[in-house]
């Protein structure tokens, strides 16, 4: 994180399971690497223009804490073979708007979590080349809350609210290769497949008018494939790396929720586009310290006409710094700070299903801490 996530061409700790599993085969020690990131997002919406309004509404304050855990070891009975397992939250989102805000029929609260469990194996084919692969078992949870516009009149004109809560699972795979062209220059590529998460749960309407489909609900969400390609230059004291990351967000073309009571379907078009992230980062080492910095550019997958408060996304710039410190010969602690600045997004001519034009201004602060222990 302190190096803007530019790590696929080095992948020299147990987090290689995420960035490039082939990196495990070049590691000589067994290790455990674990920690969390604390995320503080901020978003303000100005509008909607359909109401001739430029009123400001702020996203409710929230804190997110995705985790990561990696454990890896070389196997003594076959030189060059290593195994590992990872747990992380690569995809997730959460937005909570005021309960009675002007966009309550689009969203009030949404929370999405995913956990990836990834057993991994890597093999050093030659002194300069390694390959790796893993299996992804994915669990996901989503909750959605919003007001519901009804085709019938309600007492006192009160609109009902819906609370949808679902859990699901899916599977996928990942693979990578790491090539050391010279002792200083290395190339890394990796790919994580898409994972279709089939979820089911319950939809609760309040008040529970008989015409509303209270009861079972189901949906499918295909989490996107991602790929890394990186080049790194490494010396005894200094590393620098540049990565290109691909994200296949075209898998998210719509959100369809099926209600068991009347077999009705609520469908929201998304039409996300495939996108990319450019990453540049480096590390300088001296004595017990490792100083790190990086920069990233993240291109939004959301088309302008599909902009909505459910996920107020935009192109963003990331400014990263951090450090590591060797507490003992076996134990290292790492800290990172990422300031994520979103471009101001002025959404106009949004599709009829959204019809909610306005301006979004967002930023986020992310603080990470991790501990690594080598055996």
Output the CA–CA distances (angstroms, integers) from residue 13 to 80, 152, 285, in the order listed. Answer: 15, 59, 15
Does 8 map to a domain?
Answer: no
Cα angle 340, 172, 64; round to 5 = 30
pLDDT tens per residue across span 329-342 = 999 999 999 999 99
328: left (phi over 0), alpha (psi -120 to 50) or beta: beta
> How confident is the model at residue 92, as a pLDDT?
80
pLDDT at 253 over 70: yes
**Residue 62 and residue 41 in contact, taking contact as beta carbons nearer than 8 Å:** yes
**Residue 103 and residue 76 in contact, taking contact as beta carbons nearer than 8 Å:** no
> How confident is the model at residue 147, as a pLDDT?
94
Mean pLDDT of the region 301-309: 96
Which two three-digit tokens encode residue 222? 């295909």
Please count the helices (runs of H) and the strands (runs of E) in the chain: 1, 21
pLDDT at 153 over 90: no
Burial class (CB in 10 A: 0-12, 13-18, 19+), 181: exposed
Does 216 map to a domain?
Answer: yes
Does 234 map to a domain?
Answer: yes
> How confident is the model at residue 210, as a pLDDT?
84
Does 179 map to a domain?
Answer: yes
Does 4 map to a domain?
Answer: no
Strands 67-74, 331-342: pairing kind: unpaired
Q: What is the mean pLDDT of the chain?
A: 95
Which two three-digit tokens encode residue 131? 């390959």
Determine the structural domain holding residue 292 and report its residue range: 16-374
Residue 261 phi, psi dihedral angles, 5° rounding: -60, -45
Does 75 map to a domain?
Answer: yes
Does 42 map to a domain?
Answer: yes
pLDDT at 154 over 80: no
> How confident is the model at residue 233, as a pLDDT?
98
pLDDT at 219 over 90: yes
Which DSSP letter does residue 184 get? S
Which DSSP letter does residue 19 get? H
Residue 50 phi, psi dihedral angles, 5° rounding: -60, -25
Which DSSP letter does residue 64 get? B
Closest CA to 311 of 265, 349, 268: 268
> How confident is the model at residue 309, as a pLDDT?
96
Mean pLDDT of the region 42-49: 97
CATH number at residue 153: 2.40.160.60
Q: Where are the alpha helices (DSSP H) in the chain?
A: 16-19
Q: What percent of the chain has pLDDT over 90?
A: 94
Mean pLDDT of the region 35-56: 96
> How confident is the model at residue 116, as a pLDDT?
97
Strand partners, 184: none
> Cis peptide before 207, with omega less than 30 degrees from 0?
yes
Does 1 map to a domain?
Answer: no
> How confident is the model at residue 211, as a pLDDT?
86
Burial class (CB in 10 A: 0-12, 13-18, 19+), 183: exposed
> How confident is the model at residue 208, as a pLDDT?
84
Q: Give the whole-angstrom CA distance, residue 254 versus residue 308.
A: 13
> How confident is the model at residue 17, as a pLDDT?
98
Which two three-digit tokens encode residue 109? 């609260």
Q: Give the whole-angstrom CA distance, residue 12 versus residue 72.
A: 11
pLDDT tens per residue across span 83-115 = 999 999 988 879 999 999 999 999 999 999 999
38 pLDDT band, cuts 50/70/90, is very high
For the chain, what is the domain count?
A: 1
Q: Give the whole-angstrom CA distance, residue 5 versus residue 278.
A: 9
């Amino acid at each position: 994180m302190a190096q803007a996530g530019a790590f696929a061409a080095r992948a020299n700790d147990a987090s290689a399971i995420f960035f490039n599993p082939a990196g495990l085969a070049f590691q000589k020690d067994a290790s455990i690497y674990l920690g969390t990131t604390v995320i503080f997002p901020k978003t303000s919406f100005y509008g909607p223009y359909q109401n001739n309004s430029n009123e400001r509404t702020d996203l409710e304050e929230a804190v997110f804490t995705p985790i990561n855990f990696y454990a890896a070891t070389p196997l003594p009975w076959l030189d060059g073979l290593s195994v590992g397992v990872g747990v992380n939250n690569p995809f997730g989102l959460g937005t909570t708007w005021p309960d009675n805000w002007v966009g309550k029929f689009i969203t009030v609260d949404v929370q999405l979590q995913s956990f990836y469990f990834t057993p991994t194996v890597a093999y050093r084919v030659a002194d300069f080349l390694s390959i790796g692969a893993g299996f992804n078992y994915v669990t996901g949870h989503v909750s959605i809350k919003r007001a519901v516009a009804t085709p019938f009149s309600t007492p006192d004109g009160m609109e009902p609210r819906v609370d949808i809560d679902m859990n699901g699972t899916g599977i996928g795979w990942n693979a990578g290769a790491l090539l050391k062209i010279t002792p200083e220059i290395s190339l890394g590529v990796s790919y994580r497949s898409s994972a279709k998460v089939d979820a089911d749960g319950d939809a609760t309407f309040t008040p529970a008018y008989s015409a509303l489909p209270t009861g079972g609900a189901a949906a499918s969400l295909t989490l996107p494939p991602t790929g890394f390609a990186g080049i790194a230059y490494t010396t005894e004291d200094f590393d620098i790396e540049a990565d290109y990351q691909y994200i296949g967000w075209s898998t998210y073309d719509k959100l369809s929720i099926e209600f068991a009571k009347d077999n009705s379907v609520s469908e929201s078009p998304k039409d996300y586009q495939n996108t990319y992230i450019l990453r540049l980062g480096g590390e300088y080492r001296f004595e017990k310290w490792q100083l790190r910095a990086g920069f990233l550019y993240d291109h939004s997958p959301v088309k302008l006409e599909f902009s909505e408060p459910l996920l107020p996304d935009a192109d963003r710039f990331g400014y990263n710094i951090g450090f590591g410190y060797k507490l003992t010969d076996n134990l290292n602690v790492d800290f990172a700070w990422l300031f994520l600045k979103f471009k101001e997004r002025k959404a106009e001519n949004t599709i009829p299903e959204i019809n909610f034009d306005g301006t979004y201004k967002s930023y986020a602060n992310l603080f990470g801490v991790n501990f690594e222990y080598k055996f």
